[in-house]
Chain A
C-alpha cells in the first residue's frame, strides 16, 4: 500500500477549496469533483490491490495531477503544496523500485527506506504546516488590505460628499451675499431718496417762509413807487406850471429822471413780486381737488400750450412735437392744475433746451424734437400707475449739476429768465401731492428725459 492517492485526494480537496473558478473558462469545479472521485477510486484500488505495476499506474496518475498543477495557471494555488509532495514521491518510488528490483538489498536496508518514506511524509507535513501558516498570514494581510481599501473607498466617498456639500453651501452663501448686497444697494438708494426729499421739503418750507416775509415789504416798495409816479404827474400838471420858465425846465428834467427811477423801481419790484409769487405757489398746500382725468388729453393740451407760448415770444423758434400716447391709459386721480403746471414746466424746459442747442452748437441738420409718451405701468411695490415721459434732444444736463436741478432757485438760464423754481415745484407736486416719482435720464449735449410716475 502506498499513500500517494491520499496526497492526491488532499491536493484535489485543497484545490477545490482554493481555486478561483473565474480564472478558468471551463467548469473547473466539475473537473475537480471528478478528480476527487478518481482520487478516492485510486485510494480504494490501492487498498484492495498490492501490485507494483498498479502502484506505478497510481503514481503516474498522481504525477499527472502534479503536472497539471505545475502547467495550468488556474491551478497555480496548489503549486506549493504539490512541491511538498515531491520528496516523498521520489523517495517512495525509489524505495519501491529497489524493493522490486533488489529485494535482498531492500530487506537489509529496509529501515533506511522506511526512514526516507517517513522523512517524505514529515516533509510534507512540515511543508503543509508552513504553507498553511504562510497562507493564513497572507490571508490576514489580504483582509487587512481589503479593510484598508474599503476604508479608503469610504473616505473617498465621504470626501466627494463633503465636497458636494461644501460646494452647495458655498453657492447658498454666495447667493445670500448677493441678495444682501442687492438689499443694501436698495437701502442706500432709498436712503438717498429720503435724504433728498427731506432736503427738498425743508428747502420748500424755507422758501415759503422767505416768500411770506418778503411779500409785505415788497408790496410797500411797489405801491410807494407807483404812488410816487402819480404824485410826480400831479406835480408836473399842477404847481410846475406856475414856476418861471427857466426854473420850470430844470424841475421838469429832474421830475423826468425821478419818474424814470421810480418806473425802474416798480419794474424790478414787479419782477421780485413774480418770484415771490412762484415761491408761494411752490409751497402752498394744494387745495385743488383730485379728479380722475385723461392724462393723454392733459399732456396733449400742455405740450401745445408750451409750444405756442414760446412761439409767441420768439418767432424764429421752431421744433417738432411728437406724441406717443397709450390708447388704453388708465384714468387716475390727480390735481389737474397742479399736474398741468408740472407738464408746462417740463415742456417749457424741453423747448428751451432744444432752442438753445439750435442757437448755439447744433450739429449739421439738427432737428429740434420734443416728445411725450404715456404708459400704464406697474410700480415696484405692486401698485398700478401711469408713467409720463417727456424727452427732448436738446442740450441735456451736465453730470455736475444733475443733483441740483430740483433745488429751489437753481437755474441755468440767464438772470431774469428763470426763477429756478420750476423743477423744484414740479418735484414737490409729484412727490407730495401725488405720491409719485420723478426721474431724470440725460446725457450732456444729447438728450434729457424726465419720467413722471404717478400711482393710481
Chain B
C-alpha cells in the first residue's frame, strides 16, 4: 500500500529535492508525494479529498497561513483518522518547537532536513501506524 505524503513548503525547490530523495520509494510505489506551496493550498487539497493523506510534513515559517495555523486547522477539522503531522522547524527554534508541541504535532524535523532520519521515521510509521 502506498503512503500518501503531503509536503507543505513555500520553497518550490523542495519538490525536486523530495522527488529525487524518494526516487526509489516513488518508483516502487511505497510512497506518493503531494506538494502544497502554502498552508491555504494544503487545506484546499485536504478538503478536496483527492487522496487519503497519512502524513503531512509542514514548514513552520510560510507567508500567509503559517505551518502552526495549518496544524491547528487540521487538528480542529479532522475528526476520524487524523493524519500524522511532522513540523519542520528551523534550527534551535525553541519557541516554534514548543508551540507545535502544544498544538498537537506528532513529530519534528529540523532544517537542514536529514532524509536518512526522515526515511527511518517513515519506516516506523509504516510499521506501527
Q: Which residues of A line the B interface, CB within 8 A?
A: 212, 215-216, 218-220, 222-224, 226-228, 230-231, 234, 273, 277, 280-281, 284, 287
Question: B13, A220: Cβ atoms under 8 Å?
Answer: yes
9 new A-B contacts, CB < 8 A, other than A222-B112, A223-B17, are A215-B91, A216-B11, A218-B112, A224-B20, A227-B17, A228-B20, A230-B23, A273-B112, A280-B91
Question: A219, B92: Cβ atoms under 8 Å?
Answer: no
Question: A231, B20: Cβ atoms under 8 Å?
Answer: yes
Q: Give the shortest distance, in Å, between A125 (CB) and chain B (any CB).
A: 127
- Quick one: closest A residue to B24, CB to CB? A234
Which residues from chain A contact B44 at a C-beta distance below 8 Å? none
Question: A277, B11: Cβ atoms under 8 Å?
Answer: no
Q: Which residues of B line the A interface, CB within 8 A?
A: 11, 13, 17, 20-21, 23-24, 90-92, 94, 111-113, 115
| A245 CA / B111 CA spacing, docked (Å) | 43
Q: Quick one: given A227-B17, A277-B91, are A219 and B23 in contact (CB under 8 Å)? A: no
| A219 CA / B11 CA spacing, docked (Å) | 12
**Taking each of A226, A227, A273, which has the highest tally of chain B beta carbons within 10 Å of its own beta carbon?**
A227
Q: Give the shortest distance, in Å, between A46 (CB) and chain B (any CB).
A: 137
Contact pick for B23, options A215, A222, A234, A280, CB 8 Å: A234
Q: Give the shortest distance, in Å, between A396 (CB) and chain B (any CB).
A: 35
Contact pick for A231, options B23, B112, B115, CB 8 Å: B23
- Quick one: closest B residue to A277, CB to CB? B91
A-B contact pairs, 13 of them (CB 8 A): A215-B111, A215-B112, A216-B111, A219-B113, A223-B113, A227-B115, A230-B23, A234-B23, A234-B24, A273-B112, A280-B91, A281-B92, A284-B92
Contact pick for B92, options A220, A273, A280, CB 8 Å: A280
Q: Quick one: given A215-B91, A287-B94, are A220 and B111 in contact (CB under 8 Å)? A: no
Q: Quick one: given A215-B111, A234-B23, are A220 and B17 in contact (CB under 8 Å)? A: yes
Q: Give the shortest distance, in Å, between A270 (CB) and chain B (any CB).
A: 10
Which residues from chain A contact B94 at a C-beta distance below 8 Å? 284, 287
Q: Give the shortest distance, in Å, between A272 (CB) and chain B (any CB).
A: 11
| A234 CA / B91 CA spacing, docked (Å) | 31
Question: B111, A219: Cβ atoms under 8 Å?
Answer: yes
Which residues from chain B contact A222 at a C-beta distance below 8 Å? 112
Question: B21, A219: Cβ atoms under 8 Å?
Answer: no
| A116 CA / B115 CA spacing, docked (Å) | 159
Q: Quick one: given A215-B111, A216-B111, A273-B112, are A224 and B17 in contact (CB under 8 Å)? A: yes
**Taking each of B11, B13, B90, B112, which has the highest tally of chain A beta carbons within 10 Å of its own beta carbon?**
B112
Q: Quick one: given A215-B91, A277-B91, are A227 and B20 in contact (CB under 8 Å)? A: yes
Question: A219, B112: Cβ atoms under 8 Å?
Answer: yes
The 3 closest A-B pairs by CB, nearest first: A219-B112, A227-B20, A287-B94
Q: Give the shortest distance, in Å, between A176 (CB) and chain B (any CB).
A: 54
| A215 CA / B111 CA spacing, docked (Å) | 8
Question: A223, B115: Cβ atoms under 8 Å?
Answer: yes
**Taking each of B24, B91, B111, B113, which has the highest tally of chain A beta carbons within 10 Å of its own beta carbon?**
B91
- Quick one: closest B residue to A273, CB to CB? B112
Which residues from chain B contact A273 at a C-beta distance below 8 Å? 112
Which residues from chain B contact A220 at a C-beta distance below 8 Å? 11, 13, 17
Which residues from chain A contact B24 at a C-beta distance below 8 Å? 234
| A391 CA / B86 CA spacing, docked (Å) | 48
| A219 CA / B111 CA spacing, docked (Å) | 7
| A277 CA / B91 CA spacing, docked (Å) | 8
Q: Give the shortest distance, in Å, between B104 (CB) and chain A (any CB).
A: 22
Which residues from chain B contact A281 at a C-beta distance below 8 Å? 92
| A218 CA / B112 CA spacing, docked (Å) | 9
Which residues from chain B contact A231 at a C-beta distance below 8 Å? 20, 23
Which residues from chain B contact A280 at a C-beta distance below 8 Å? 91-92
**Taking each of A218, A220, A223, which has the highest tally of chain B beta carbons within 10 Å of its own beta carbon?**
A223
| A12 CA / B112 CA spacing, docked (Å) | 133
Question: A215, B90: Cβ atoms under 8 Å?
Answer: yes
| A220 CA / B92 CA spacing, docked (Å) | 19
Question: B112, A223: Cβ atoms under 8 Å?
Answer: yes
Which residues from chain B contact A284 at a C-beta distance below 8 Å? 92, 94
Q: Give the shortest distance, in Å, between A212 (CB) and chain B (any CB).
A: 8
Question: A227, B111: Cβ atoms under 8 Å?
Answer: no
| A219 CA / B110 CA spacing, docked (Å) | 11
Q: Give the shortest distance, in Å, between A40 (CB) and chain B (any CB).
A: 128
| A230 CA / B19 CA spacing, docked (Å) | 12
- Quick one: closest A residue to B98, CB to CB? A287
| A220 CA / B18 CA spacing, docked (Å) | 11
| A212 CA / B89 CA spacing, docked (Å) | 12
Which residues from chain A contact B17 at a C-beta distance below 8 Å? 220, 223-224, 227
- Quick one: closest B residue to A221, CB to CB? B112
Q: Give the shortest distance, in Å, between B37 (CB) and chain A (any CB).
A: 15
Q: Give the shortest distance, in Å, between B58 (CB) and chain A (any CB).
A: 15
| A230 CA / B119 CA spacing, docked (Å) | 15
Which residues from chain A contact B111 at a C-beta distance below 8 Å? 215-216, 219
| A155 CA / B90 CA spacing, docked (Å) | 89
Q: Give the shortest distance, in Å, between A165 (CB) and chain B (any CB).
A: 69
- Quick one: closest B residue to A287, CB to CB? B94
| A212 CA / B91 CA spacing, docked (Å) | 9
Q: Give the shortest distance, in Å, between B57 (CB) and chain A (any CB).
A: 14
Q: Give the shortest distance, in Å, between A456 (CB) and chain B (any CB).
A: 27
- Quick one: closest A residue to B114, CB to CB? A223
